Amino acid sequence: MASSVTQPLAAAATANTFTNVIQLADPLDDSDRCTLIPGIFGISIQVLLCVISIVVVFLKYVFEHTRRPPLVFLMDFVTLMCGSGTVHVLNILSSILIQRFHAGSGADTGDECNIYFMTTLFDATFGIYIEYRIVRYLAIRKEAEHYLELTRKSVFNPTTEEMADATRIATVALSKGVSIGNYSGDIEGSAVEHLDDFTAFGGLPHNAERFGRWRQFVMVVTDPGQWLCIMANKKFFDNLISWLAIVCGLKVFSITLFVVFSGTVNSVGEFILGFLNKQHTMKLLFVMIGAPLVLNAFQYCVTDSIIKIKSAERSRLAPDA
């Protein structure tokens, strides 16, 4: 009699334990929707994504053909992480708000993971191209203005023809990776100054190594203003702010687009992620870890190269010694 009672109780306990293990391994599948920050599990995913992103950037640096000096890389790294971190936070917040807007309009489909996946896909494709065009346009414009300052004797505004010629010369110079600071002839010849010293987004030259790494780090802590002057990085923070303005402006555009077409965006995301239907934990892992392994890795590598477009523009700030 006792054994007949004990066996069902043991079976029930085993089933309960098995259910708890499943819920622990898949904590989201009891909910109706995939959410981006489901408690400790979601926060852990965010931390893991941050670690992966940093590792990708450092791996790119390690395998660079012409490796930047550590401080050059540090400044590019700060610029890249500030921009990508800002975009990531905006992506999460906008995905949550857009989904709530979508649900509030009476729609009963989609979830936050769909929206986040589509924003990540947009950023890594159309977004990165738009950023490239904006940064390249600004760099060419700046170099063209610098060329006109060096070559024109007139105090009046440049004519359309002069501006067109300066823009053409600046475009060629930027494409060839040369400076127009010493321009004295055909830009396509050899009468320009080649950039032997690599410079970063902030304008830090290769020959900055002559100051000594330890001295540089000490100066950063004790007298950052003097360090900025010596290392020709007076405009580093201006460049950082301008980069953040570019990525935030693009994000405002994409958020507006996604709000207007929230139904279509959700449907496309639902179609692409249909193989993870009702598997919310796996879906979260895919949109936060799986997809970014490809999309963000590509995006970071391209963005790092975009940031370095400023090299030719800032080379004239480097010390001559």
Which tens digit of pLDDT belongs to each residue from 148-162?
A: 777 765 556 777 777
Residue 157 lies inside a defined structural domain of this protein: yes
Rg of the chain in Å (alpha carbons) = 26
* Mean pLDDT for the stretch of residues 247-272: 87
Domain total in the chain: 1
Residue 125 lies inside a defined structural domain of this protein: no
- pLDDT band of residue 228 (cuts 50, 70, 90) is low
Residue 2 lies inside a defined structural domain of this protein: no
How many CB atoms are located within 10 Å of the residue 78 CB? 15
pLDDT of residue 199: 41
The terminus-to-terminus CA distance of the chain in angstroms comes to 96
Dihedral of the CA atoms 8, 14, 16, 19 (nearest 10)? -140
Residue 17 lies inside a defined structural domain of this protein: no
- pLDDT band of residue 38 (cuts 50, 70, 90) is low
Asked if 173 and 187 touch (Cβ cutoff 8 Å), the reply is yes
Please state the pTM of the whole predicted model.
0.64
Region label for 110, one of left (φ > 0), alpha (ψ between -120 and 50) or beta (otherwise): left
- pLDDT band of residue 31 (cuts 50, 70, 90) is low
Residue 256 lies inside a defined structural domain of this protein: yes
Residue 3 lies inside a defined structural domain of this protein: no
pLDDT tens figures, 176-225:
665 665 444 444 443 344 433 334 444 444 444 444 555 655 665 566 56
Q: Which amino acid is at 43?
A: I
* Six token digits for residue 193: 């100054």
Using the predicted structure, report yes or no on whether residue 23 has a pLDDT greater than 80: no
Residue 182 lies inside a defined structural domain of this protein: yes
Domain that holds residue 237: 38-105+130-317
Query: If we measure between CA atoms, which residue out of 108, 104, 94, 102 comes closest to residue 36?
Result: 94
Using the predicted structure, report yes or no on whether residue 318 has a pLDDT greater than 70: no
Residue 6 lies inside a defined structural domain of this protein: no
How far is Cα 2 from Cα 6, in angstroms, rounded to an integer? 6
How far is Cα 180 from Cα 169, in angstroms, rounded to an integer? 8
CA distance readout (Å), 232 to 179, 203, 226: 16, 6, 10
pLDDT of residue 155: 56
